[in-house]
């Protein structure tokens, strides 16, 4: 099983719909992140969490919300999806013992 699992892998949704992207990890890492990737751009940070009670906005948090339900689970919600939120979304964790980040396989979201 992958260390960081994202569901769904692909999703097409309509403008105005609420959608949740889920991320779970098996490594016991406290720190989890949500990034967005647009074509020709690097990844941009949406939200991050250093533990269950800690949630922080990244550089592009508008239009998104998150929930850290447990150490292993970090969900990203689009309350009312719009077409410019069409992108590839990645969840990641950070290992404090070796400073390494582990990325999930990504969720390709299309808003029509």
Partner 1 sequence: ELKVEQNPLFLSMQEGKNYTIYCNYSTTSDRLYWYRQDPGKSLESLFVLLSNGAVKQEGRLMASLDTKARLSTLHITAAVHDLSATYFCAVDGIGTSGSRLTFGEGTQLTVNP
Is 28 near partner 1 (CB under 8 A)? Answer: no
Contact between 11 and partner 1 (CB under 8 A)? no
Between 33 and 72, name the residue whose CB sits nearer to partner 1: 33
- 35 or 64: whose CB is closer to partner 1? 35
3 state DSSP class of 83: helix
DSSP per residue, 15-79: TT--EEEEEEESS--SEEEEEEE-TTS-EEEEEEEEETTEEEE-TT-TTEEEEEEETTEEEEEES
* Contact string 41-80 vs partner 1 (x = CB under 8 A): xxxxx--x-x-----x-x----------------------
């Amino acid at each position: 099983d992958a260390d960081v699992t994202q569901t769904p892998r692909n999703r097409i949704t309509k403008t105005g719909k609420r959608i949740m992207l889920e991320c779970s990890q098996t490594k016991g890492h406290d720190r989890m992140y949500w990034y967005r990737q647009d074509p020709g751009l690097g990844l941009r940070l949406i939200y991050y969490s250093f533990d269950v009670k800690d949630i922080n906005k990244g550089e592009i948090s508008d239009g998104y919300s998150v929930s850290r339900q447990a150490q292993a689970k970090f969900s990203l919600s689009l309350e009312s999806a719009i077409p410019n939120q069409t992108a590839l979304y990645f969840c990641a964790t950070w290992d404090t013992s070796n400073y390494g980040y582990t990325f999930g396989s990504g969720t390709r979201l299309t808003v029509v």
